[in-house]
Structures are given as structure tokens and as C-alpha cells.
Structure 1
Amino acid sequence: MNRYAKLIAIASGIITFVLFRSVTAAYDIGWFLAAVLGYGVYFSVEKVLSAEPEVKKLKKPPTLKVGILTDEHELKSMMNDAYEDLIQIQKCYRKAKHESIRINGEKLFHTGVTIFEHLRKNPSKIRQARRYLTYYLDTAAGIMNKYIGFVETRLDTEEINKVYLETEKALEILNEAFNKQFVKLMQNDMMDIEADVKVLEDTLRTEE
């Protein structure tokens, strides 16, 4: 828990103690009840503020069931590589020194997990995502890994600061590429929904 969260928890406990004590001042055990309640509020606030945000869990790809395919081994290999790339992106964005890079890295990870899980459930679409799996995802992991390498040097030079700016720019471009890939994969599903809506509208008109 950071220092500010700790101070908020302590302040909450003290305020609760003072307020409850003022209400129960006429009772001999009022101070005791106020202390217990104050500690309870402190403990609860501390627990809430110190809780770690929930992180998406990534499932290791199982044996692909794509029928009799000559490139089944290649497809499985691409999914395994994608899994490793996503794990690398997650590790790197958590270590990011710059907020914009951490935020963009986290976006990449969550969009990547969404695409990965969609491909796991729809292995017939893996070929369609070949460019994403073999280039964009691998590039994202590589850039994040190099960025962390520079961060860990703890050097502050004009050249390294330029690398940070280029990293931020690259992640913004990659986020756009990831989003486009997801929309592309979901294109048929979106068209199905549009068709269903049109059928519903036509059905309603015929019943009027």
C-alpha cells in the first residue's frame, strides 16, 4: 500500500474514534467501543485500498482441434508463441516507469488476451490472424522488453529519453493495430447481428 493510502486509512480510523467517542461520552465503556470501531474502520479502509487490481488470467492454449490440417503444427506453434508474447507484455507493463507506457502496455495486454481467447475458441480463425500473431504481437513484446531494458539501466540521457518517446508512439500504433485485428476477427459476428436485426424489423413490419 502506498503512503497516501496508509494516511487515508489512519485518518478514517481517528475520525471514527473521535465521532463515536463524542456520542458515547456519557458511558464508561464509550472510549473502548470507539477504539474498537475506529480500528475496524482503519482495517477495512486499509484492506480496500491495498487490494491489488484484478488481472486477466491467460490460459495456456490446449491442443488445437482444427480438423485434418497440413499446417496444424504451425498453428499450434503460433498460439504458443502468442501466449509467451502476452506474458512478456504483461511483465513489462507492470514494470513500466512512465505512466503513458504502462497504460498503453496494459491496453495491449488486455486486447491481446481478448483476441487470444477468441482464437482459442475459434481455431479456424487462426490463419486469418497470422499477420497479427507473427508480426504485431511479437513486435509489441519486443518493444516492451527493450524499453524495460533501458529503464533498468537507470540512465537519464537525451538518447534514452528519445527511446521512451519512440516507445510511447509505437505502443499507440500497436494498440490501433490490435483493435483493428479484433474488429476484423469479429466481422462475421457483427454481420450476423445486423442480419438478425433486419429480419426482426421485417418481421415486425409484416405483423403490423
Structure 2
Amino acid sequence: MDYASLPAREIERLSRNVPPGAWAVERERPLSTLLGSCVAVCLFDAQARIGGLNHFMLPNLQRSAHSEVDSLLAGDYAMEALLNALLAQGARKPRIQAKAFGGGTIIETSGQSLAIGQRNAHFAREWLKREGIPVIASDFLGPWSRKVLFLPSVGDAWCKRIVTSHATAEVIAREERAYAATLAAPKTPDDNVELF
């Protein structure tokens, strides 16, 4: 299907949603995510016609020996996971480019939202610079939440700034809290069993 010829609303309807703490790699199907203070980075190799998107909540994560926290919550792990998945499917690092979005301030909680958004945006820029991956488009910070649509086969991305109403802020906060709650839940021995 030629997704690039479709209107943005139809692309969004057909897209695969990437929630907080997740990433996805696709060759054709569009990817989408909704951001608050989180950041999403789109990486793509236009020659190999493959790309991916991640959605992370914190720049990095300090893990203790007793911690069972999901690593993809943190940007340092989310970026490595996305890049490695692209390389494993035929992308070449010298051809990879990036588009990055997010880091908004949508909910003020004793000043922490601004700091988290700024730290996420700074981390994304620094990580991409360190890895030698050019950022060809970005939209960071500000008082907005953002809806991001990404066409991985060609690297096209749309970022719609959303004036954050109380309802929008609640949806984003609820999604982030739900994800954080899964990380904080006590693990039972059955949680460590992988079925295949």
C-alpha cells in the first residue's frame, strides 16, 4: 500500500501505536505515538526502506541489584534497542537518519515535568550526536503534547502539536502512570517464565 499518498488522518487510523517504554521497526506500516514530556525518536535508512520509532520516559535509568525495572523506560536502552533492531534487519549505520520529537511540559508537578522534558530532549540530541546520526528534523519542548506519525519506508514524519487541555493531559498521564505501575508491580516467579 502507498501510505504516503493517504491523508494524515487515514495514516493515523492504519498506524501501529507505540506506547511509552516501547519501540517498533517496520518496513511499510506507519507508526504513531502520543507524547507529553516523553521523547520519540524515528530512525530510518531510506535506501534499505526501513525505519523505527521508540518512546521513552527518562533519559537513563539507575538500576540497583534488586531492581526489576523495564529498561526500555529509559532512553539509553530504548535508543540502543531501536538502532540494533534496524541494523539486524539490514539498515546500515552510515545511512541512518533521525527525526525526534517531544519533551513538552504538559503537567506541572512541582516543577518536575519541565526538567524531565528538557532532560529527555537533551539526551536525545546528545545520543544521536555521539552516534554520528544526523537529526534532519526535530520539535522539542514547549507547552504542547504531540501526536507523531511516521512512515518508516521513506522516513516521512508528521508532528502535530496539541494544545494540552485537561482531558489530553489526563490521557497522557494515565498512559504513563499505567506503564509505570506495571514496572512497580511485585514480580512473581511465573513472571520470569518466557513462553514460546
After TM superposition, is the score higher than 0.5? Answer: no
Q: Which has the higher contact order (CA 8 A, sep 6+)?
A: 2
TM-score w.r.t. length of structure 2: 0.25
Return the structure number with greater helix share: 1
Return the structure number with greater strand share: 2
Max Rg structure: 1
